[in-house]
Amino acid sequence: MDVSQYLEIFIDETKEHLQSLNEQLLVIEKEPENTDTINEIFRAAHSLKGMAGTMGYKRMQKLTHQMENVFSEIRNGAKKVDANIVDVLFQCLDALEEYLACIQETADEGDNDNEPILKQLETILNGSAPKAQAEVSKETAKESQKVETEEAKEKYKDFVYADFERHAITEAFDKGINVYTITVFVDENCLLKAARAFLVFKSVEGVGEIIKSNPSAQDIEDEKFEFDFSICVVSKESLETVLTVIKNVSEIADAIGEKLESIPGDGKTEDSENKEILPAEDEKKPAAAAAKAAPAKSQTSKPIVNRSVRVDIEKLDVLMNLVSELIIAKNGLVSQSSSEEISQSQAFNEQIEYLERVTTNLHESVMKVRMMPIETVTQKFPRMIRDLSKKLNKKMELYMTGEDTELDRTVIDEIGDPLMHLLRNSADHGLESGEIRVRRGKPEVGTVCLDAYQDGNNVVIEVRDDGNGIDVEAVKNKALDKGSITPEQAAAMSDKEIIDLLFKPSFSTAKVVSDISGRGVGLDVVKTKIEALGGDIEVKTELGVGSTFIIRLPLTLAIIQALMVELGDEKYAISLGSIQIIEDIPVSDIKYVQTKEVVNLRGNVIPIIRLDEVLDIESSDEEESLTVVIVKKGDRLAGLVVDKLIGQQEIVIKSLGKYISNSKIINGATILGDGEVALILDVNTLL
């Protein structure tokens, strides 16, 4: 048995506990008397300590043990939560996250002992519990230990040895090697008893050999024991050495034993004793029932087991690829069925419809498995805003809605950094200082909001603040100073075009470069990442009122519903999520504004984009009317001129790799039913 096989589980569960600690510490900072939260933090620290001990991460175990001690004092009422304690505990969390990052990379916790933090925790502890109380608890512990000692001796005196075990003990006596019977007590708060027992066995094997255990090794591995078990050990070391080795294992409350001078049982073996054991067991039933009463109580308060299974994302990718191939096969059958000979068969068409239903349902099911709530990313932001509030000396609150909105796992993994950039930007650049806000008649506490919601085939995430807003003139002047635009261009630019300059590389309006922002590496990175995910970002701002950054992301990156169109002899796909309406527009309705073609459609002036010109395709001769696909990006509309509509189809997006990396208009490719390849157009880059 190798502990490293639990590494993945350890990493996942540690992340969950650290996130829980983060959230609970934010609560206790505002509600220092909240006993439920204090208990939650104690439990999370205790669990982390146990897990770190099991995996052999001593530094992590030591730090969480001290955290647990601090909260033990707070639970007892010997210590009150104050700002200093909360700050130190947040430092502990940062240190634990550092250990975890190290473990993820190297499977080792590193060599940072975090002595300054441990000293601060020690200082908090030293000024805590009254001595009288400590003395009382020591006396109580001694009394209970006496009882345990008597019980333990009874336990290992009940050992019944099989013939081969007797032979091993006799051989040890002949060679002058010690034989000890030991009972080990596991901490009653221990979560992984079997793991603790395994570590005890492993530790003892370093100083001797275990020839018997009660219960059996298999029962111990299956956790079929209370909080103690007995072992018979053959060792050249002293009893004290063996007991010390056992007690050094984390969450082992105690271990007691004695040296065996002769084999008990007067020649009776395990088989011959079976009948005699049964009455003895029956006599013990009342005591056993009493011992089990306490654990039974605690079991009622156990949380309901989370009905979820962790699945490796690579396995899901394989499943997704199989679904993709199935959809391509289905599309092939659909295109075959359109031929006149086969379309005569009603049974064939019914099978096609059945296959279509199955593939669509299978696709939706796999997509649901790949979906994760956006909360997995946003849950770390309240702590970040709390730290920024202290660092910038600005009062601010973060409000979040729609955390249960779901996104594809691959999108979730990538969206965390861009959102963090935008929130830091709002806190640093957006919100004014408290004095300025009061002068402007605003509340002293600034507001940063993060809202997520689903809109058709997209998920929209908005980051907004009630701060200063973007000073368009300042951005324009900065761009002129840097030579990014000419005075002529500046005069002709709309406010929106000027704001878009903020997304250019190395563009920053910050007057002071800090470690929070102002180096000009924020918004261009944000835009690049979001566009790489097939999404887009836009900004709405009002000077003195605030700014809103709106991110739109596709729900999935693998399979989409698309409109198939023809341009010349080539076929293209346009995502249905972007399409508003399809119009037949007479050529005579097309007007020109600043040499660009537009059409007035029900009061909206919509620019016309000739796809044949953009894609350099020889189009068919112009007719009296044009087929125009009206697409939307945020508030903006545009009309894409196509030669012919083929129809709606479920398509599989295949990456083009590096083949057409220089063209942002092409988002990928898909394989049609007849085996032909069609390119997928990215509407966001056209608008």
Catalytic choice (68, 109, 406, 650)? 68
Distance CA(650)–CA(364), nearest Å, equals 12
Listed residue (162, 190, 368, 197) closest to 269, CA to CA: 162
425 has catalytic annotation: yes
Displacement of CA 139 from its chain's centroid (Å)? 46
Catalytic choice (46, 363, 421, 429)? 46
Query: What are the tokens at 405?
Result: 């909105």
Catalytic choice (22, 69, 214, 425)? 425
Distance CA(639)–CA(605), nearest Å, equals 10
17 has catalytic annotation: no
Question: Residue 346, Cβ neighbours under 10 Å: how many?
Answer: 8
Query: What are the tokens at 105?
Result: 């990379």
Find residue 329's DSSP bridge partners. none
Find residue 574's DSSP bridge partners. 563, 681
Alpha helices by DSSP H, 301-380: 313-337, 340-343, 346-370, 375-378
- 446-483 CB burial, b ≥16 within 10 A, e <16: bbbbbbbeeeeebbbbbbbbbbbbbebeebbebbeeee
Q: What is the DSSP string of 90-102?
A: HHHHHHHHHHHHH
Q: How far is CA 264 from CA 158, 267, 439, in A?
A: 9, 8, 88
Distance CA(651)–CA(324), nearest Å, equals 8
**What are the two backbone dihedrals, phi and then psi, of residue 681, each rounded to the nearest 5 degrees?**
-85, 135
- 251-272 CB burial, b ≥16 within 10 A, e <16: bbbbbbbeebeebbeeeeebee
Query: What are the tokens at 292?
Result: 């089990």
Listed residue (18, 16, 1, 95) closest to 54, CA to CA: 1
23 has catalytic annotation: no
Distance CA(17)–CA(379), nearest Å, equals 13
Q: Is it true that the peptide bond before 215 is cis, omega within 30 degrees of 0?
A: yes
Return the active site residues.
46, 68, 425
